[in-house]
């Protein structure tokens, strides 16, 4: 009987253990297959992004120079930034919103699958592929999910979508499906190659990738973050941190400084500083050329966030090393993950107003020294070493900061932030310092006030009177038109009928969305052109009524302009001086199609010569053709519910064009627009027409 009892107890124990094992397996399976919350998602993203495998074998990895800053524009100073800029974005997100709490992010199984297929990093291209899968795709998913939550969408002003593009296909969005449906429009596949060959973005040293924002209101596209990849076996996180731990006067401390320090530690830092200055200059120069305020150098192990504000000669940098900054016992640890930081960086970048023309034409000097290749090849092994630097201080966030992704910790987190807290301590309280966006809005408001005062103090006749009156009208615009940060971006375009009446000198179109801002006395076309020319010469500050739309064709770059004095809002195709003859020929072609303007082609308002040269990337623009806004590029509308209309509309519009005796000569998707309000297709870019 005793043996039977022992046997029964053993069987019962085995049965209970088996039931426990089955329950655990079921729970594990449920955990692995269910979707995740944002906090779980960020933890998984951190594990993924820090699982980088670097190929260090010389025979299997690239060994080229890290960078070459020769002839690149340099900032005056490179300043380490200690402010927690990324917290501002997170602090605006409500705690209990669905974006934070809902089970909507990928499952753990998905992450395991992605991890299994991550490439080993042996070069910059393989690093780009790794980063795209481990970070960029996750950031895009977060922004898309955030936009689905009404609370978060409003809090972060997510009126845009985000995508990644490399430098070779910015502005190139060909679609083969429409080519098959609209054969008569001759949408040839070689259009993509031609667009790339003629793109103004193709020049020396273009950054590897961009975050591109497409704004919902007018479908305008803008590069908001430039990404430069540096393979980690060429640029260690130790070199990154030691090179950027102190402010750098670029020309005094690096470019014109060839005297090596004697002490060993100073010698090592001297090398790191030279190399990291060259790396930052490479990215910075392209940011200035393309008028992008935000950029990031990535190595897979370290991130260097570069920010340019109102003074582009000052580059603010912040080093982020997720593997070292992340601490399991820190309740703010999720803020130190690569994905959380990049999400905040991209959202911040998308909210920045496009730089003004005065910003991009600021006086900057190039790096005149020879190739930095010799410098890099002479670097001591200690600089190239990937050994942890004991002087690196992992980022910590003060306890009082509000965060929707704050987590529990095993022990109290340190309350010492990397940022200088002297000012807050002297205040005797723990108020969060004023956010950058608040300070930026105050500066812009002050700039607008100064602009108004200059207008009131100006002449009361001629251009002075027009400018003053225009500024008063600009000041009176409703909030939808006069937003302190991006008023011109949200301003509606005038209707085709409105601008046709302007050309004809007749009454204002009562259906124009800007009708209430137009004067009852319509100016003559020449008066209008003179006013536009004067405004483009004088109105170049951060609140200017002119912004680039980041749409580049074979010869021109598109701008959005609002005539401040009269409220007329339209687009301008600006070209270089050498293309001005082609632009005049295009204007003549529009004149030949006068009766089709506003129907299948935009309304032409004429050409203005720019007294103050405008810049777009490396292009210097001198002449602009003014046109009514025709809609979004057709390739951007391919997923719209009304796409089935395109083939029929295209055939009808093309027939009208041919009846007018005009052959377009460049009938590509990028030269066809669709206006969902009028449900019309419009053709543009007639420089090759006959």
Please state, in angstroms and as integers, the Cα–Cα distance from residue 354 to each residue in 143, 217, 227, 310, 368, following that order.
Answer: 20, 16, 18, 11, 29
Task: Decide: 607 and 587 in contact? Cβ < 8 Å.
Answer: yes
Residue 417's pLDDT band (boundaries 50, 70, 90)? very low
Give residues with Cβ within 8 angstroms of 353, minimum separation 6: 444, 485, 486, 489, 542, 547
Cα angle value 164/167/172 (rounded, 5°): 80
pLDDT at 483 over 80: no
Interval 530-540 mean pLDDT: 92
pLDDT of amino acid 513: 94
Token couple for 98: 């669905």
Cβ atoms of residues 156 and 437 within 8 Å = no
Q: Give, rounded to a whole angstrom, the gap between the first and last alpha carbons of the chain.
A: 107
259-305 confidence digits (pLDDT tens): 777 666 677 888 889 899 999 999 999 898 888 999 999 999 999 99
Query: What does pLDDT average to over the chain?
Result: 77
CB atoms within 10 A of CB 62: 14
CA 201, distance to chain mean position in Å, is: 15
Q: Ramachandran region of residue 414, left (φ > 0), alpha (ψ -120 to 50) or beta?
A: beta
Tokens of 120: 């080993």
Q: State what percent of residues in the chain have pLDDT above 70.
A: 71
Residue 194 has pLDDT above 80, yes or no: no
> What are the two backbone dihedrals, phi and then psi, of residue 390, each rounded to the nearest 5 degrees?
-65, -15
**Torsion sign across C-alpha atoms 222, 202, 139, 338:** negative
Separation of alpha carbons 282 and 291, rounded Å: 14
Dump pLDDT digits (tens) for 390-405: 677 787 776 656 788 8
Predicted pLDDT at 617 = 65
The residue among 183 and 95 whose pLDDT is bigger is 95
In this structure, the number of other CB atoms found within 10 A of the CB of residue 414 comes to: 14
Burial class from Cβ neighbours inside 10 Å (0-12, 13-18, 19+) for residue 520 reads: exposed
For the CA atoms of the chain, what is the radius of gyration?
29
Q: Is 597 helix (H, G, I), strand (E, B) or coil?
A: strand
Would you mind telling me the total number of residues written for the chain in this entry?
Answer: 690
3-state secondary structure 556-582: CEEEEEECCCCCCEEEEEEECHHHHHH
Residue with tokens 């293309």: 579
Q: Would you say residue 490 has pLDDT above 60?
A: yes
Q: Is residue 31 over pLDDT 90? A: no
> How far apart are alpha carbons 225 and 307 in whole angstroms?
10
> Given a cut of 90, is residue 48 above it in pLDDT?
yes
Tell the burial category of 354 from Cβ atoms under 10 Å away from its Cβ (0-12, 13-18, 19+): buried
| 223, β-bridge pairs | 212
Q: What is the DSSP string of 261-313?
A: -SSHHHHHHHHHHHHHHHHHHHHHHHHHHHT-SEEEEE-SS-EEEEE--S-TT
CB atoms within 10 A of CB 327: 16
Neighbour-count burial of 410, counting CB atoms closer than 10 A to its CB (0-12 exposed, 13-18 middle, 19+ buried): exposed
Higher pLDDT, 301 or 467: 301
CA distance 554 to 583: 12
The sign one gets for the Cα dihedral 117, 122, 126, 130 is positive
What is the CB neighbour count within 10 angstroms for residue 314?
A: 15
Q: Which domains, and CATH codes, for the chain?
A: 32-55+68-171+204-384 (no CATH), 491-683 (3.30.200.20)
Whether 593 and 638 have beta carbons less than 8 Å apart is answered as no
Q: Provide the pLDDT for residue 185.
A: 42
- What is the pLDDT at residue 642? 59
| pLDDT value of residue 392 | 77
Q: Between these two residues, 196 and 70, which has the higher pLDDT value?
A: 70
CA distance 311 to 314: 6
pLDDT at 383: 60
Least confident of 71-85, 379-393, 497-511, 531-545: 379-393
pLDDT at 652: 75
Q: How far apart are CA 214 and CA 173, in angstroms?
A: 13
Express each pLDDT in 536-550 by its tens digit: 998 888 788 998 886
Average pLDDT over residues 92-105: 93
Strand, helix or coil for residue 408: coil
What is the pairing mode between strands 365-366 and 73-74?
Answer: antiparallel
**Which among 88, 40, 138 is positioned nearest to 397, based on CA atoms?**
88
Average pLDDT over residues 51-63: 77
Whole-number percent of the chain with pLDDT over 90: 38
- Diameter of the chain by CA atoms? 117
pLDDT at 592 over 90: no
Residue pair 398/421 in contact (Cβ under 8 Å)? The answer is yes
On the question of pLDDT at 215 being above 50, the answer is: yes
Residue 382 three-state SS: helix
Q: Give the pLDDT of residue 257.
A: 82
The whole-angstrom separation of Cα 683 and Cα 602 is 8
The count of other CB atoms within 10 Å of the CB of residue 425 is 10
Residue 182 has pLDDT above 50, yes or no: no
Over 90: is that where the pLDDT of 679 sits? no
Residues facing 571 on adjacent strands:
560, 627
Q: Which two tokens stand for residue 221?
A: 């596209």
Residue 324 to residue 82: CA distance in whole angstroms: 17
CA within 13 Å, CB half, 627: 28
Give the closest residue to 307 by CA, choosing from 297, 296, 324, 294. 294
Contacts of 56 (CB under 8 A, 6+ apart): 233
Mean pLDDT score, 668-683: 77
Q: Token digits for 37?
A: 């919350």
Structure tokens belonging to residue 367: 């790096």
Section 482-509 average pLDDT: 81
- The pLDDT tens digits for 613-649 are 787 766 788 999 999 998 887 765 555 555 666 767 7
CA–CA dist 583, 556 (Å, integer): 9
Q: Report pLDDT for 115.
A: 94
What token pair was written down for 580?
């001005």
> Residue 179 above 70 pLDDT?
no
**With the C-alpha atoms ordered 654, 655, 656, 662, is the resulting torsion angle positive or negative?**
positive
């Amino acid at each position: 009987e005793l043996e039977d009892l022992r046997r029964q107890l053993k069987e019962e124990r085995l049965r209970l253990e088996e039931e426990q094992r089955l329950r655990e397996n079921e729970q594990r399976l449920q955990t692995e297959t269910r979707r995740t919350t944002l906090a779980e998602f960020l933890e998984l993203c951190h594990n993924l992004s820090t699982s980088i495998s670097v190929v260090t074998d010389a025979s299997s990895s690239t060994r080229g120079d890290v960078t070459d800053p020769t002839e690149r524009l340099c900032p005056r100073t490179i300043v380490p930034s200690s402010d927690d800029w990324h917290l501002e974005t997170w602090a605006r997100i409500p705690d209990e919103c669905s974006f934070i709490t809902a089970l909507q992010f990928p499952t753990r199984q998905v992450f395991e699958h992605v991890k299994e297929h991550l490439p080993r990093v042996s070069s910059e291209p393989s690093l780009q592929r790794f980063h795209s899968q481990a970070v960029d795709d996750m950031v895009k998913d977060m922004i898309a999910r955030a936009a689905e939550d009404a609370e978060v969408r409003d809090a972060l002003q997510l009126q845009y979508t985000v995508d990644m593009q490399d430098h070779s296909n910015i502005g190139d969005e060909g679609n083969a499906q429409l080519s098959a449906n609209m054969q008569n429009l001759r949408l040839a596949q070689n259009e993509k190659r031609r667009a790339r060959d003629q793109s103004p973005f193709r020049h020396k040293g273009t950054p590897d990738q961009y975050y591109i924002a497409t704004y919902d209101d007018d479908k305008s596209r803008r590069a908001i973050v430039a990404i430069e990849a540096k393979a980690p076996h060429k640029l260690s996180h130790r070199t990154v941190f030691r090179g950027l731990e102190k402010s750098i006067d670029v020309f005094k401390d690096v470019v014109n400084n060839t005297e090596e320090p004697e002490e060993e530690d100073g010698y090592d830092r001297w090398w790191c500083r030279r190399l990291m200055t060259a790396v930052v200059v490479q990215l910075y120069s392209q940011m200035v050329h393309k008028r992008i305020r935000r950029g990031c150098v990535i190595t897979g192990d370290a991130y260097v966030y570069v920010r340019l504000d109102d003074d582009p000669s000052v580059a603010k940098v912040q080093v982020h090393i997720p593997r070292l900054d992340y601490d399991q016992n820190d309740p703010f640890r999720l803020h130190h993950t690569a994905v959380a930081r990049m999400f905040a960086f991209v959202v911040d970048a998308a909210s920045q107003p496009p730089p003004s023309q005065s910003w991009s034409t600021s006086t900057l000097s190039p790096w005149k020294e020879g190739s930095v290749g010799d410098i890099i090849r002479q670097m001591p092994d200690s600089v190239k070493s990937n050994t942890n630097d004991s002087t690196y201080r992992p980022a910590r966030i003060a306890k009082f900061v509000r965060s929707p992704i704050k987590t529990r910790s095993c022990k109290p987190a340190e309350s010492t932030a990397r940022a200088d807290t002297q000012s807050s301590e002297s205040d005797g309280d723990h108020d969060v310092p004023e956010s950058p966006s608040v300070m930026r809005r105050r500066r812009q408001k002050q700039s607008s006030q100064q602009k108004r005062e200059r207008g009131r103090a100006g002449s009361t006749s001629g251009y002075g009177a027009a400018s003053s009156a225009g500024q008063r009208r600009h000041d009176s615009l409703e909030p939808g038109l006069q937003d302190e940060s991006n008023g011109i971006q949200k301003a509606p375009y005038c209707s085709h009928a409105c601008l046709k009446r302007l050309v004809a000198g007749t009454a204002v179109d009562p259906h124009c969305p800007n009708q209430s801002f137009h004067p009852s006395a319509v100016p003559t076309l020449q008066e209008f052109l003179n006013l536009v020319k004067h405004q483009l010469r004088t109105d170049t500050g951060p609140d200017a009524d002119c912004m680039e739309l980041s749409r580049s064709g074979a010869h021109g770059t598109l701008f959005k302009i609002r005539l401040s004095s009269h409220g007329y809002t339209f687009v301008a195709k600006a070209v270089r001086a050498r293309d001005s003859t082609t632009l005049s020929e295009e204007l003549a072609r529009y004149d030949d199609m006068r009766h089709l303007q506003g129907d299948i082609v935009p309304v032409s308002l004429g050409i203005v010569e720019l007294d103050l040269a405008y810049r777009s990337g490396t292009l210097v623009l001198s002449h602009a053709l003014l046109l009514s806004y025709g809609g979004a590029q057709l390739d951007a509308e391919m997923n719209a519910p009304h796409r089935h209309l395109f083939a029929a509309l295209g055939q009808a519009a093309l027939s009208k064009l041919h009846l007018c005796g005009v052959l377009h000569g460049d009938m590509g998707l990028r030269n066809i627009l669709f206006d969902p309000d009028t449900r019309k297709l419009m053709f543009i870019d007639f420089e090759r027409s006959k």
